[in-house]
Amino acid sequence: MTVATSPRPLIDRLPEVRGELTANAPLYRFAWFRVGGPADVLFQPADADDLASFLAARPDGVAVTVLGVASNLLIRDGGIPGIVIRLGRGFGDIAVDGETVRAGAGALDIQLARACRDAGLAGLEFLSGVPGTIGGALRMNAGAYHREIKDVILSAEALDGTGSRHRLDPEELGYTYRHCRVPDDWIFVSGSFRGHPDSRDAIATRMDEISQAREASQPIRMRTGGSTFTNPPGHKAWELIDQAGCRGLTVGGAKVSKQHCNFLINTGNATAADLEALGEEVRRRVHAATGIRLHWEIRRIGIAGEAA
């Protein structure tokens, strides 16, 4: 008689690491929306070498998802199967050398902007208006206030799915609007950027102007996920949403911001399903009113639940 045995838990099948492995780890606490289910396993590597060794030795066929601060991300209510990798302190170093600055993928965009300001290096002020980490900025060619990563990038370093390192120049990154052509399973670990000398006071003034503009136009103190939809060619997403009558529209605990209607808000008790259903309803209404199909800028990942 053969006795069926249960498969070993995923965490017990993973290689030893210097960082931290956590089973059934809650992810909502990392997300700006404050929603989302757990990860099967959360891995927070100690540094890039720890991450490379882990990728080289991980079991075949196990999904891997990378998180930064989840500022432009919707984690679905059923959670994320497989391994979620979150880059933390070991990826947060920033170093300025003349007109070049190198930053780890875990560094916040605003931290890089501030480091450049303190060093009298101009050109990266726009990053003070981009919520998130350098890793996310490199992946999606993040931008704001008429500048994008492609305007300042010198090179980036990434690990492929086997843990091998790659140094990528701007042509290899292949940046277009909110997109790069680097394979989805590669993980950015750092980037090098160029600036130009300027006075600290002038740089600080421009950063203050960006901060004031964000405060006046965006619901930055709410539980939100940044810009929801990309701007269609020749149009602004928020104007199309407003034209379709979606300002203030709600589904469950999710709401279209009245301050900036390309932002969705968790009013306090929204689920990820509420937020996604609201976004899809906005897309439907915009297409019905204008004939234009909006495309999500916010990444939606994980197993779906049901809207309220």
Q: What is the mean pLDDT of residues 193-221?
A: 94
CATH fold label, 220-301 = 3.90.78
Q: What would the pLDDT profile of 74-113 be if each residue is shown by its tens digit?
A: 999 999 999 999 998 899 999 999 999 999 999 999 999 9
Q: Regarding predicted confidence, which is higher, 138 or 144?
A: 138
Asked about 297 being catalytic, the answer comes back as: yes
In this prediction, residue 68 has a pLDDT band, given cuts at 50, 70 and 90, of confident
Please give the structure tokens belonging to residue 36.
């989302």
* pLDDT, the chain, mean: 94
Which class is 93-216 in CATH?
Answer: alpha beta
Distance CA 244, CA 291 (A): 11
Catalytic residue among 34, 147, 178, 284: 178
Task: Please give the share of the chain, as a percent, with pLDDT higher than 90.
Answer: 87
Locate all alpha helices (DSSP H) within the chain, ordered by sequence. 48-57, 109-118, 134-140, 170-173, 200-217, 237-243, 272-290
Q: What is the pLDDT of residue 71?
A: 84
User: E strands of the chain, at which residues?
Assistant: 20-26, 38-44, 64-67, 73-75, 80-86, 94-97, 100-104, 121-122, 143-144, 147-148, 153-159, 165-168, 187-194, 196-197, 223-224, 250-251, 254-256, 264-266, 299-301
What are the boundaries of each domain within the chain?
10-89, 93-216, 220-301
Asked about 227 being catalytic, the answer comes back as: yes
Q: What would the pLDDT profile of 252-266 be if each residue is shown by its tens digit?
A: 999 999 999 999 999
CATH fold label, 10-89 = 3.30.43
Those residues with Cβ within 8 angstroms of residue 194's Cβ, 6 or more apart along the chain or in another chain = 99, 100, 123, 152, 153, 154
Q: Regarding predicted confidence, which is higher, 280 or 215?
A: 280
Catalytic residue among 128, 190, 227, 257: 227
How do beta strands 38-44 and 80-86 pair?
Answer: parallel
Asked about 178 being catalytic, the answer comes back as: yes
Those residues with Cβ within 8 angstroms of residue 245's Cβ, 6 or more apart along the chain or in another chain = 285, 289
Distance CA 110, CA 117 (A): 10
